[in-house]
Amino acid sequence: MFVSQAVWFIVYLAMRFMRRAPNIKPRELAAPSGRIPPCLKTRLLLIIPGIINLVGSALGLVGLVTTAASVYQMLKAGTLVIWSFVLSIIFLHAHYTVQRYVGIFTIVVGLILVSLASVLWSSVTIF
């Protein structure tokens, strides 16, 4: 995840550099008042996912402290697949075959079993 964010930061810096290229006159970029407007939209496009990632990582670490590492990793990977599936249906209007729905259902059942096993047979004392 860090690598992808670093790549987007490089793209952001390249876009800033291209705006300041010598063949572009400052007046072309200037607002009617003569000042260059801050790119609030561009900043929000970088800040909002960063904050969401920070909160998600903090909550993930809390989950890692309270459960076994193997259970945490299985739940994290399984929910990633489920969220990708659900969000692709909502935002991309993807249509899937019955086999994929059966696969997602199998993943959900597996996550429920892993969670139940972790809760019912937990021998780890927390704090």
Predicted confidence (pLDDT) per residue in 42-56, tens digit: 777 778 888 888 888
Whole-model pTM? Answer: 0.58
Distances (CA, A) of 84 to 33, 53, 77, 81, 98: 45, 16, 11, 5, 17
Exposed/middle/buried for residue 67 (C-beta within 10 Å: 0-12, 13-18, 19+): buried
Q: What percent of the chain is predicted at pLDDT more than 70?
A: 73
Residue 23 has what DSSP assignment?
T
pLDDT of residue 65: 86
Asked if the model's pLDDT at residue 114 lies above 60, the reply is yes
Mean pLDDT of the chain: 80
The span from the CA of 89 to the CA of 44, in Å, is 25
Tell me the average pLDDT across 31-44: 61
Asked if the model's pLDDT at residue 14 lies above 70, the reply is yes
The span from the CA of 16 to the CA of 10, in Å, is 10
Tokens in use for 90? 């909502």
**pLDDT top residue among 20 and 58:** 58
Asked if the model's pLDDT at residue 113 lies above 80, the reply is yes
